[in-house]
Chains A and B, each alone.
Chain A
């Protein structure tokens, strides 16, 4: 098993992540191709002969269909080998996928830690609890980690690849367990739940104030549910706390790899840098940075020189009215100089983008020092089936 501080910056290292690590967590800003990257990592692992499962959060419809996730399924579904395997795929590999269902994952957790069926039933039927999975910020992130916890201990898999929810800060899942614990630990509610008479007297002032306040804001109907939930939840905090600690330990294992996914655009790169810093604060490293949608650079000429050549060509183009035309050639122009000018301008545009992207990326590559970096060129088409996923796989994992 490889360690988290491999130093080579070549494709071989990215391959090692899919081939050797047992947990791969893909994170990054929204819209950078995180879900697709997670699927690609799992495919590479399976192709290499490992038994891989990918937990997706909200895949685009066509990718979900390709992964056999027509309906929401919270348990791993094996994808038929004939669909994903290629002639050079190693024997023994298998590919599984599931789409995270926050609510049923939470339900499972409640059933696990409830003292008896009666307690579990009281919680599962509670109106406030039913809202927790949908409305409490961070629940989805927490359940993604909980799902990871569950799958890691499943003997059917060698590697679990997790996609993380698209959040603006891209790292809510690191804070999610703490946030949930804070809710369950809420001081006011602890007072609410105090059973003995002595405490009740102390609590009553706080309780009265709080209940009055909430009633004035949202109406009194919701309060019964809230109180009932916290009463029902009593005694389960320890189980949840232990579980949260478990997840924290899992993500710190040397066999766990964080894969940071980004695009080369400024805002995505800034978020990635921020995320890398946050991981470092938590004593975690970025095992790999995968940069999607990178523009190709054609040739070595610089953009201003290319634009100058376009301008020079254009100045020689004679317009239909017999005077020199300074404007870009009209669409469909058949004047060779005008066409050449258009080509020079487009080449210059692409060179500009490519250079600026490399500039944006220069800093982030340093931030993930010790991690592998893979640049994936901008694809002209969508990745939504195994043929395009394999194409992407070859691009990410080729050295």
Chain B
């Protein structure tokens, strides 16, 4: 697939279970798109995240900040979205008062999905205004992502008239148009994340009616390419290669090789399961050997993502 064809919708909602690297994938997508000359806006809906750290920036609270040339991040809280919404509807005078009185809690409780519709309504507004070539929404963690996407349709049932109903209609229209909005699901090649991804995928598509982009499998290790050797085999290879490898080191190499091979084998099982359970193209991102991802790692992942996207075409 041509890289340019990959971005079929302006809005891409990135979702996945906690700990699978949703924020990493969001950053990687942003860099990949920016490298292709697109302007990118990342919308975060849960406040504090590790996003700035991935761009080697301090993780301060922010409303809007430029992470890199062409990549902007924006925090969108329901409270801010409400004030914004009211101001846009000629209710400026009471907007602050309503937000500060704690009344949003009451209203949002009276109308479930109110917070979600406020945030998604703002996303729709950004999309309509062409705020960026690509708008990435870092969605709430897996289970919450489904209710996040179901809220607008739920509100359509609950409210028959008024501005919120109009907002819900507009958001549902956005969500159900694959040319404007898609959901990209992220997982790890492990059993529980794969199971949850499959459940989420069906809920997103069947219940929320949102189109699914290719699945991103984060943290894939590259297979060794040969059977993991015993320590004595390692020593034999060292002799054949005319190198000195101590017995201790041969043991460590064999142990590391076995660990790696076991992980790669389990990963293949889970990737195959995922392919069987969910007929969607898979883009794999490599395992980065670090506990602290930095900008350089994200650049490397972005290059891998671009390669993965190009390879998708060959399989289609």
Contacts and interface: CB of A to CB of B under 8 A. Distances in A.
Contacts of A268: 19
Query: Which of A219, A270, A357 has the most CB atoms of chain B within a 10 A radius of its CB?
Result: A219
Contact of B113 (A135, A166, A381): A135
Interface range on chain A (Cβ under 8 Å from partner): 35 or more
A353 B289 contact: yes
A218 B111 contact: yes
Interface in B15-63: 17-20, 23, 46-50, 53, 59
B131 interface: no
A187 interface: yes
Interface stretch (A153-161, A250-258, A343-351): A343-351
Interface string A290-333: 00000010110100000000000100100000000000011111
A108 interface: no
B175 to A, nearest CB: 20
A208 interface: no
Nearest to B289: A349
A346 B105 contact: no
B315 interface: no
A380 B190 CA distance: 9
A213 B257 contact: no
A225 B195 contact: no
A29 B45 CA distance: 17
Interface residues of B, number: 76
Contacts of B160: 219, 221
B111 A222 contact: yes
Contact of A340 (B53, B114, B237): B237
A298 B291 contact: no
A194 interface: no
Contacts of A359: 291-292
A9 B1 CA distance: 54
Given A217-B164, A218-B162, A380-B266, A131 B110 contact: yes
A382 B196 CA distance: 13
A359 B113 CA distance: 41
A192 B164 CA distance: 24
Contacts of A179: 105
B270 to A, nearest CB: 10
A343 B159 contact: no
Contacts of A32: 18-19
A349 B256 CA distance: 9
B18 to A, nearest CB: 2
B225 A214 contact: no
B295 to A, nearest CB: 14
B68 interface: no
Contact of B255 (A270, A298, A313): A298
A382 B164 contact: no
B234 A343 contact: yes
A131 B108 CA distance: 9
B226 to A, nearest CB: 6
Contact of A263 (B19, B164, B195, B236): B19
Given A219-B162, A349-B289, A336 B106 contact: no
A330 B225 contact: yes
B243 A340 contact: yes
B112 interface: yes
Contact of A29 (B18, B112, B162, B293): B18
Query: Which of B17, B190, B192, B254 has the most CB atoms of chain A within a 10 A radius of its CB?
Result: B192
Nearest to B98: A213
A336 B234 CA distance: 9
B101 A188 contact: yes
Interface in A246-285: 263-268, 270
A269 B135 CA distance: 29
Given A263-B19, A339-B237, A299 B249 contact: yes
Contact of A347 (B19, B107, B256): B256
Nearest to B249: A299
A236 interface: no
A132 B48 CA distance: 25
B255 to A, nearest CB: 5
Interface in B57-104: 59, 86, 89, 91, 94, 98, 101-103
B292 A188 contact: no
A199 interface: no
Interface string A122-146: 0000001001101111000000000
A340 B293 contact: no
Interface of B: 17-20, 23, 46-50, 53, 59, 86, 89, 91, 94, 98, 101-103, 105-115, 141, 143, 159-165, 190-192, 195-196, 223-226, 229, 234, 236-238, 240-241, 243, 245, 248-249, 252-257, 259-260, 262-263, 266, 289-293
Given A135-B114, A222-B110, A226-B106, 12 more contacts: A60-B192, A168-B47, A182-B102, A183-B105, A218-B159, A219-B159, A313-B241, A329-B225, A339-B237, A342-B226, A347-B253, A356-B292
27 contacts: A62-B192, A134-B112, A135-B108, A135-B109, A135-B114, A186-B103, A188-B101, A189-B106, A214-B107, A216-B91, A217-B98, A217-B107, A218-B107, A263-B19, A267-B23, A270-B59, A298-B259, A299-B248, A299-B249, A313-B243, A329-B225, A340-B245, A343-B253, A350-B256, A352-B290, A353-B291, A380-B266
Interface of A: 29-32, 58, 60-62, 128, 131-132, 134-137, 166, 168-169, 179, 182-183, 186-189, 209-210, 213-214, 216-219, 221-223, 225-226, 263-268, 270, 296, 298-299, 301, 313, 316, 329-334, 336-337, 339-340, 342-344, 346-350, 352-353, 356-357, 359-360, 380-382, 384
Task: Report the 5 A-B pairs with minimum CB-CB distance, sorted nearest first.
Answer: A31-B19, A30-B18, A31-B18, A331-B225, A336-B237
